[in-house]
A and B are shown apart, each in its own frame.
Chain A
């Protein structure tokens, strides 16, 4: 058994919220630079160039890359040999988010109730996904999610007979409908299988995978490559103003499912695809 104090969780989550909003991760940064090299449209190149300037200003002046600093989504992978001492774990996580959004001058974008809509003024609560894993470490992934792209995400409950072609159509439909609203170039996170809620979580988790990494399952990897090519052939381009860079990556996660179903979730993220991972 290993003891972890919840103060350590709070401190890390605070720092991770700030880090995610000021600096793009290395994989995303590289993908954005590559996109500028390969983009064919003049206006698309101009936009990608301005997005490079934007990243530089955010980094140097400690201004959030985007004013929508997101709703904080946090994946907690907790080794089953870990014992938490201190506060209730969930309170410690929310406190980290609260401190990060306050001290980092990040926007408070969360309302307490979806209908009554009163701002909580500290960006809590975060959406937290817990899982118990082997070992004695805690792996934390902080992925603040902006809602321009979140609003364009979809779940499709396909039939088994729809097969892989149905999956491809679902993904292309979601991306086409998202168009300029999702701040392309986007990253497309896809979950296939499981149940209604499982495929959505798979899709969200897929967005936290490095954009230069593919699935280890050969057919899934091929699907990722094929769809990226097809999406970039849609012509949407940077800012949705026409071009050859509509997506930087398609990340697909799969899971077992029921004999009667083929759930597909498409979680779209803008070019500010934020994900910071720490293991403590």
Chain B
């Protein structure tokens, strides 16, 4: 089912999202991947604040290619989420409500999704040129030295994603395969 939602994605909104829904997101989201997650968690361990407003936030696991002059951003598709599995439960417990990436998640992340009424979306892997068109603004907010891995705040418009794991822990990667599996 096609749904249109605006950020912030709150627990009220994740209530309505079911595994398998096709969702178009509009609003502000953060971008962070491996090195940025590592730094954010290290900051927390030192007792420092996070550089992003984590409550009801959406984090997109992505590292864009460089923008040409006049472009908002370069190619901007999702990276593999499992590399963020070590860090995601900590951020979810602090208030992160939605993650966008691609690929499987660990049982610990799925537990944290259920515990926090969060949601895991997949964007289409390898569709970086298409997805860049839905990004209307982009600014680096910290860790600029990480290059493509810097933390960004972006404005998206009708950014297409699919609900893979909903707040009840239903997992589309497991259910959808069964339907077409004859091996």
Contact = CB atoms under 8 A, between A and B. Distances in A.
Given A58-B75, A62-B68, A180-B173, A50 B104 contact: no
Given A67-B75, A119-B147, A43 B65 contact: no
Given A65-B75, A179-B103, A242-B177, A51 B127 contact: yes
A235 B74 contact: no
Contacts of A211: none
A117 interface: yes
Interface string B99-113: 000111000000000
Given A230-B183, A241-B172, A67 B64 contact: yes
Contacts of A271: 126
A57 B130 CA distance: 6
B176 A64 contact: no
Given A47-B124, A241-B162, A148 B148 contact: no
B133 A57 contact: yes
Interface residues of A, number: 52
B35 interface: yes
A62 to B, nearest CB: 7
B177 A66 contact: no
A54 B62 CA distance: 17
Interface in B63-98: 63-68, 71, 74-77, 79-80, 82
A164 B63 CA distance: 40
A67 B129 CA distance: 8
B40 interface: no
B129 A58 contact: yes
Nearest to B69: A105
Given A57-B133, A148-B80, A234 B181 contact: yes
B159 to A, nearest CB: 12
Interface string B144-169: 00111000000000001010100000
Contact of A234 (B172, B175, B177): B177
Contact of B79 (A68, A172, A235, A237): A68
A263 interface: no
B132 interface: yes
B103 A40 contact: no
B46 interface: no
A239 B125 CA distance: 7
A66 B147 CA distance: 17
B183 A50 contact: no
Contacts of A57: 129-130, 132-133
Interface residues of B, number: 49
B126 A235 contact: no
Given A236-B177, A237-B177, A272-B126, A181 B102 contact: yes
Contacts of B122: 180, 239-241
B177 to A, nearest CB: 4
Contacts of A54: 124, 126-131
Given A50-B160, A57-B133, A235-B182, A107 B74 contact: yes
B132 A43 contact: no
A233 B103 contact: no
Interface string A42-59: 010011001101110110
Given A106-B65, A233-B183, A241-B176, A66 B130 contact: no
B104 A181 contact: yes
B107 to A, nearest CB: 16
A165 B129 CA distance: 40
B178 A235 contact: yes
13 contacts: A41-B180, A54-B131, A65-B128, A65-B129, A67-B62, A67-B76, A107-B66, A107-B148, A180-B104, A183-B102, A233-B182, A235-B183, A240-B176
Interface of A: 40-41, 43, 46-47, 50-51, 53-55, 57-58, 61-69, 105-109, 117, 119, 121, 146, 148, 151, 172, 179-181, 183, 230, 233-237, 239-244, 270-272
Interface of B: 20, 22, 35, 62-68, 71, 74-77, 79-80, 82, 102-104, 122, 124-133, 146-148, 160, 162, 164, 172-173, 175-183
The 10 A-B pairs at the shortest CB distance, nearest first, are namely: A242-B176, A235-B181, A183-B125, A181-B103, A235-B180, A54-B130, A67-B75, A58-B129, A67-B128, A107-B65
